[in-house]
A and B are shown apart, each in its own frame.
Chain A
Amino acid sequence: MMHIKHEAEERHVLTVTVDNEAGILAKIAGLFTARGYNIDSLTVADITENHSVSRITIVTHGPPSQIDQIHAQLERLVPVHKVVDLTEVGPYVQRELALVKVAGVGEKRVEALRIADVFRAKPVDTTTGSFIFELTGAPDKIDTFVTLMRELGLVEVGRTGIVAMIRGAEEA
């Protein structure tokens, strides 16, 4: 008899600065699949005026040795300029944006609006029977908000995945 073994895992946030060229996202996503790494979320957008460089934020989890391999394997890709493991480097800010659609009438509708106010979620669309709230924050804040809305008529959720940045004056 043989069973598959599992190791203790950690969540890490990586930022990857890359040449904004065709296929780079597929290269990175494919690297994770090909080597059996996990992607919890991935965001990407170009960050320079001439659109030549993109910044990718990847949230992954795995055993520490695997996280180190992910770092090294990403650096091995030719279009990758820099990889920073924010979890490793030090305190960082992480933010995610969510759109949350809630439908309901009467007390539930009022309660949804009240909770949204507490969470500083902004209604960006409304009908007489529904709201779409826009909410930013760390992932656990959004998780909590979504959980609360579930009781009040949650219809659907869209989340961007996080972007993150190291705290302080220095570039990571």
Chain B
Amino acid sequence: MTRRDDCRVGSVSLESAWPAEMLVSGADPPMEAGFLKRPFGGRAPEYEEECVVSEERSGANILVESLVRQGVEFVFGYPGGAVLPIYDALFGDERLRHILVRHEAGAAHAAEGYARSTGKPGVVLVTSGPGATNAVTGIADAFLDSIPLVVITGQVPTALIGSDAFQEADTVGISRHCTKHNYLVKDPADLAATIDEAFQIATTGRPGPVLIDIPKDVQIATAPWTDAPAQRRNRYSPPTLGGADEIAQAIDMIASAKAPVLYTGGGIINSGLRATQLLRELQEKTGAPVTSTLMGLGAFPADHADWLGMLGMHGTYEANLAMNQADLIVCLGARFDDRVTGRLDAFAPNSKKIHVDIDRSSINKTVQVDLPIVGDCASVIEQILEGWGSRKPQDLSAWKARIDGWREKKSLSFPLSKEAIMPQLAIQRLFELTRDKDPVISTEVGQHQMWAAQHFHFFGPNKWLTSGGLGTMGYGLPAAIGAQCGNPDSLVIDIAGDASIQMNIQEMGTATQYRLPVKVFILNNEWMGMVRQWQELTYESRYSNSYSDSLPDFVKLAEAYGWKGIRIENESQLDAGIKAMIEHDGPVIVDCLVAKESNCFPMIPSGASHTEMILYGDTVAGTMDDEAKALV
């Protein structure tokens, strides 16, 4: 019996019973025949009144009821032998919508995209063994980017655990260091409490993925179920408020700074809409310029006069120089990642540093700070604002004048080409032509990702979905699918590269099945561009295996999946192609052929400091010493 054979029957009849166009439009699918005969396959609403009667239910049913109780709308998954009881419990249950992906990595990334774009936890359901291991990349991705996921994996029956049974893997062992917490549930009586705790852990404190491994016999065996919330140990209570002394100290430091910078990260987005509003207030009160990490884009509006742009390896000159020359850095929900700091001993040498983070282990991990504040970004900013009173910040005009001088460098400018579309220009046009639609943008990983971060601009949170920490090629398309599920009326675009898009291209089928009108905008330069760029900078242009040979015809591929395919070959077709993409009421691939040799600048080479940026790519070829080569 193979995993793929034994799951077909259930999923096919489920999908055929749900007209695809209804699945994301908000309309409830019709009940299918036999639905009411199922013991617990979904109860009529009037039955759900306050009955606290305890009844025996299977583990699979307890799982489904618990997910419903948590308010789950979508489950991204793929069936297989060890989750068949759960899939049977889902059969015909109209309260949860199962999105059948084409590969389990797609399920995890789709759940990430859903979570990042809605602020709600993403739920994944996969089988044991290969199902679980395929999902691990997405779980690790969510762990590094602090995305709340609850991942349900099937496991072989408890009696067979450890026997090298068919499709057995030590899922709890494999996922131990890429989950925030994980469980192996050996008794259905523990399921409800475990699931409730899993959602709490995934969504509070520093969010992250939580995995629940459920052996097949535990899915079938029964336990008492009541509608009352499960009895749960209250053992996880992360801090939210900063200490009063630290807050007072922070206010004094900010109020006396002559050259402050607010350095913001994904923590602001995770902290919720309130945090982004409070950040604006803090900026107004203090006048400090704002920069952001890749993960934090959108927390502060990009059209604000004090917005410096992204910082770090491919950040703007003004952001990096401001960090280097600041006398105070206020880090809000960021973690001094190596992409941000560059050479550590040259990082922001003359500044005091305040670090606000809900995760104590992020503080002093790489950069020693003067004032750590452990707490939730929104709460801590609010505390600072409350304590700020009627203070006046220092006169920052001299500081802002220096920053304006750095802005003069126009570090994001690029040479135009008559022969080919510059990739940066393609992003700029995409931005201009979609701006009024407030789109959700996902990316894959590589040059196109950095160009998107530089040339697409964001004005609110939850619009920018990218794999920052793990840098997972293949993230963008499934993430766009998940985001489209959670935002059915939004324009969702995956900005992709020709190499990355092929890593989870099978998910095109998922978008087709559920009529998800996602757009994939490929900057096609026939290279793994970022690899080639590093080979150019570091290995004297020895392009070892970085050429994208044998690319598919993306337009024909689109058509093969029932998508629309558009090819843009020159600048005169660019706007029309983008407009045609937006106007098409369905999924679209745009194969945008761009200048093949373009590199992404500005850039701080690995092992260099913020003051050693390469601008405009004027010195691109060369090599590096071994110390620099050894850095990632």
CB-based nearest A residue for B364: A68
Give the distance in Å from the alpha carbon of A139 to the alpha carbon of B184 in the complex: 38
Q: Check: B176 CB closer than 8 A to any chain A CB.
A: yes
Give the distance in Å from the alpha carbon of A77 to the alpha carbon of B184 in the complex: 16
Task: Evaluate contact between B173 and A69: CB separation under 8 angstroms.
Answer: no
Q: Check: A2 CB closer than 8 A to any chain B CB.
A: yes
Q: Check: A44 CB closer than 8 A to any chain B CB.
A: no
Contacts of A1 in B (CB 8 A): 626
Give the distance in Å from the alpha carbon of A111 to the alpha carbon of B184 in the complex: 55
CB-based nearest B residue for A65: B364
Task: Evaluate contact between B626 and A76: CB separation under 8 angstroms.
Answer: no
Contacts of B361 in A (CB 8 A): 69, 72-73, 75-76
Using a Cβ–Cβ cut-off of 8 Å, how many residues does chain A contribute to the interface with B?
A: 21
Task: Evaluate contact between B177 and A19: CB separation under 8 angstroms.
Answer: no
Q: How close is A110's CB to chain B, nearest CB, in angstroms? A: 51
Give the distance in Å from the alpha carbon of A73 to the alpha carbon of B368 in the complex: 16
Interface string of A11-23 (1 = CB under 8 A from B): 0000000010011
Pick out which of these stretches binds chain B: A26-34, A88-96, A97-105. A26-34
Q: Check: B437 CB closer than 8 A to any chain A CB.
A: no
CB-based nearest A residue for B201: A78
Q: How close is A102's CB to chain B, nearest CB, in angstroms? A: 40
Task: Evaluate contact between A78 and B368: CB separation under 8 angstroms.
Answer: no
Give the distance in Å from the alpha carbon of A155 to the alpha carbon of B211 in the complex: 47
Contacts of B177 in A (CB 8 A): 30-31, 34
Task: Evaluate contact between A65 and B368: CB separation under 8 angstroms.
Answer: yes
Give the distance in Å from the alpha carbon of A75 to the alpha carbon of B184 in the complex: 21
Task: Evaluate contact between A26 and B173: CB separation under 8 angstroms.
Answer: yes
Contacts of B364 in A (CB 8 A): 65, 68-69
Q: A22-B184, A78-B201 are in contact. Are A27 and B235 (CB under 8 A)?
A: no
Specify the main secondary structure of chain B where it touches its partner.
mixed
Q: How close is A65's CB to chain B, nearest CB, in angstroms? A: 7
Task: Evaluate contact between A2 and B235: CB separation under 8 angstroms.
Answer: no
Give the distance in Å from the alpha carbon of A64 to the alpha carbon of B364 in the complex: 11
Q: How close is A24's CB to chain B, nearest CB, in angstroms? A: 11
CB-based nearest B residue for A68: B364
Give the distance in Å from the alpha carbon of A34 to the alpha carbon of B363 in the complex: 19
Give the distance in Å from the alpha carbon of A65 to the alpha carbon of B360 in the complex: 13
Give the distance in Å from the alpha carbon of A78 to the alpha carbon of B361 in the complex: 13
Give the distance in Å from the alpha carbon of A72 to the alpha carbon of B365 in the complex: 9
Q: Check: A81 CB closer than 8 A to any chain B CB.
A: yes
Contacts of B184 in A (CB 8 A): 22-23
Report which of B176, B235, B363, B368 forms a contact with A81, defined as CB distance below 8 A: B235
Contacts of B363 in A (CB 8 A): 72
Report which of B172, B359, B625, B627 forms a contact with A76, defined as CB distance below 8 A: B359
Give the distance in Å from the alpha carbon of A22 to the alpha carbon of B630 in the complex: 39
Q: Check: B181 CB closer than 8 A to any chain A CB.
A: yes
CB-based nearest A residue for B374: A72
Task: Evaluate contact between B630 and A2: CB separation under 8 angstroms.
Answer: yes
Report which of A2, A65, A77 forms a contact with B627, defined as CB distance below 8 A: A2
Q: Check: B180 CB closer than 8 A to any chain A CB.
A: yes
Contacts of B47 in A (CB 8 A): none
Contacts of B360 in A (CB 8 A): 72, 75-76
Task: Evaluate contact between B627 and A27: CB separation under 8 angstroms.
Answer: no
Contacts of B235 in A (CB 8 A): 19, 78-79, 81
Interface string of B561-586 (1 = CB under 8 A from A): 00000000000000000000000000
CB-based nearest A residue for B210: A78
CB-based nearest B residue for A23: B172
Q: How close is B513's CB to chain A, nearest CB, in angstroms? A: 37
Contacts of A79 in B (CB 8 A): 181, 235
Give the distance in Å from the alpha carbon of A2 to the alpha carbon of B365 in the complex: 24
* Contacts of B615-632 to chain A: CB distance below 8 A: 625-627, 630
Report which of B176, B180, B236, B368 forms a contact with A23, defined as CB distance below 8 A: B176
Contacts of B180 in A (CB 8 A): 78
CB-based nearest B residue for A21: B183
Contacts of B172 in A (CB 8 A): 23
Give the distance in Å from the alpha carbon of A102 to the alpha carbon of B182 in the complex: 46
Q: How close is A16's CB to chain B, nearest CB, in angstroms? A: 14
Give the distance in Å from the alpha carbon of A156 to the alpha carbon of B201 in the complex: 47
Task: Evaluate contact between B626 and A78: CB separation under 8 angstroms.
Answer: no
Give the distance in Å from the alpha carbon of A65 to the alpha carbon of B363 in the complex: 11
Interface residues of A (CB under 8 A from B): 1-2, 19, 22-23, 26-27, 30-31, 34, 65, 68-69, 72-73, 75-79, 81
Interface residues of B (CB under 8 A from A): 172-173, 176-177, 180-182, 184, 201, 235-236, 359-361, 363-365, 368, 625-627, 630
